[in-house]
Chain A
């Protein structure tokens, strides 16, 4: 019998990419490929790239080189957003065998199989389909990511996503329900709804609220998390869904800036005032809610005062985590043609200020859990025998006990916090629930 072929995956960027790599990896396993660590010699490398910032482009290029160094004779398939944005340029790179754009990403296995069969491969002859991934039974994570939507029609002036992910498209609800039931049957205890612009989910009579509501009614012992969402596209009544015990009290809503003027220049679909009112309402309805966000510093024309408004907004709302991006020019976007590009050192300084404030807020938010319970889904058993995972608020927790089982829920009394870059709660079990 032939030795199974080896394949190594690398994912850069967003949750959607993670989902898509998981799904691809599972397909390769079903076809008898053996997955090896990225950087080890492999017959095939699949790099799922990102292009959201300059840095993402650089990282993606670095990983292509890593693959080439690990096995210059291996086959390298580059897919994802950078592959879509710079297709022609990458096709000239001799370290890359196939550049598969997002439209054809579901065909990565078929491309590999055709190659190994000695066929001539033309990517455009494969099906273009955004949702044709089968549910993954084994993934690189404890959580099962579920893709419900792709693309975006917002055309924010800084953003390359509409170009590389295309227009907003929603997956049919029946497919989503089926996918979720399947992964629950595989044993997943947490599912994460994933897409580019979830709030704009629309399929027939289903909007995002109705879809989520029906997902929560699927029977089983699992919880539902919503990945990153834009502030527009859903109404306040959506927040009542967080009363449901299966929906975790955490949302990553992208603010981007606290300045009204910068938000308008970004063509965001909301005002700073709207965002603040919405955040406060959410926190009042669900005390302790973990609201996390993205912030872009150094958008063209951003003055010190406007940056100050962002810091003020952060303080008023008190985010549990902030992901900071230094604005970087993306070719073909409207912001590329704007005047007043901010100097690089200024962006670095602003991003440092955001980071410092964000770290303080994170520590204070997480400290507030001491003396409270968290329902922790154990992701792994650590080397010292204790267990780690995430509580429902998406805060990392170490359970200082031995003999616990991964992929199991435990109610944990939070007793302390371990400071550090990623402040981690620690505690002991209250009652075993499984």
Chain B
């Protein structure tokens, strides 16, 4: 059931200089992990889509946002004060797990930057999930709340330094490693990464109905 309303900001966690988590009241909003909301400061006509970062059993609602240099909403939301209201509409979208497959299948989550957000929600919402998260960032310090993932299931790919588990892009990682053809693969982030990653996996023989993408930009 979709709702549209004002949610009070409870907390803001600054994970890096530019990336932060907004924690707000949930107000009963029901969602499937992977879905997104439309979000803006209350009273501001400009809203943007943000994947829900929190799990579907959490009492609050969270989003993970990167402040973009020439951006509008991502900048404004960074400066919002605790106690202020946010305009929230949702949940929206069809990027979600086929829960029938959760008990028996392996899931590979391929993300760049804040594209890890929906996977954070999926992992938190389905503790039984057999997953691996591939997280592509420039530098190791961008492993946003990596302790929230099982350390054997989180693989950070850093292209700008060698502090990650793998030095290079997620696409380099995918090329260099075998992937079981029955794996269900989800992609989230910028379209270039998704395009290349999908291509690599298709060439490795993963049927395209097992590939699911959420494009941020």
Contacts and interface: CB of A to CB of B under 8 A. Distances in A.
Given A260-B198, A267-B215, A232 B94 contact: yes
Nearest to B70: A337
Interface string B191-217: 110110011001000001101010101
B35 to A, nearest CB: 10
B32 to A, nearest CB: 13
A390 interface: no
A367 B49 CA distance: 47
A155 B215 contact: no
A167 B2 contact: yes
B92 A153 contact: yes
B186 to A, nearest CB: 13
26 contacts: A153-B92, A153-B94, A154-B94, A155-B49, A155-B92, A155-B93, A167-B89, A167-B92, A233-B94, A260-B199, A261-B191, A261-B195, A264-B191, A264-B194, A264-B213, A264-B215, A265-B191, A265-B215, A267-B215, A269-B94, A271-B198, A271-B211, A273-B202, A274-B208, A274-B209, A334-B217
Contact of A271 (B49, B93, B192, B208): B208
Interface residues of B, number: 19
A153 B213 contact: no
Contacts of A232: 94
Contacts of B202: 273
A273 B202 CA distance: 10
Contacts of B191: 261, 264-265
Interface in A251-274: 260-261, 264-265, 267, 269, 271, 273-274
Contact of A273 (B2, B194, B208): B208
Interface in B26-66: 49
A260 B194 CA distance: 10
A132 B208 CA distance: 41
Nearest to A153: B92
Contacts of A269: 94
B215 A153 contact: no
Nearest to B214: A267
Contacts of B92: 153, 155, 167
Nearest to A274: B208
Nearest to A259: B195
Contacts of A261: 191-192, 195
Which A-B residue pairs are the 6 nearest by beta carbons? A264-B191, A153-B92, A267-B215, A264-B215, A261-B195, A265-B191
Contacts of B195: 260-261, 264
Interface string A260-290: 1100110101010110010000000000000
A153 B93 contact: yes
Contacts of A271: 198, 208, 211
Given A155-B92, A167-B92, 16 more contacts: A153-B92, A154-B94, A155-B93, A167-B2, A167-B89, A260-B195, A260-B199, A261-B191, A264-B191, A264-B213, A265-B215, A267-B215, A271-B198, A274-B209, A277-B208, A334-B217
Contacts of A264: 191, 194-195, 213, 215
A260 B213 CA distance: 12
A209 B89 CA distance: 28
A271 B208 CA distance: 8
A233 B199 CA distance: 23
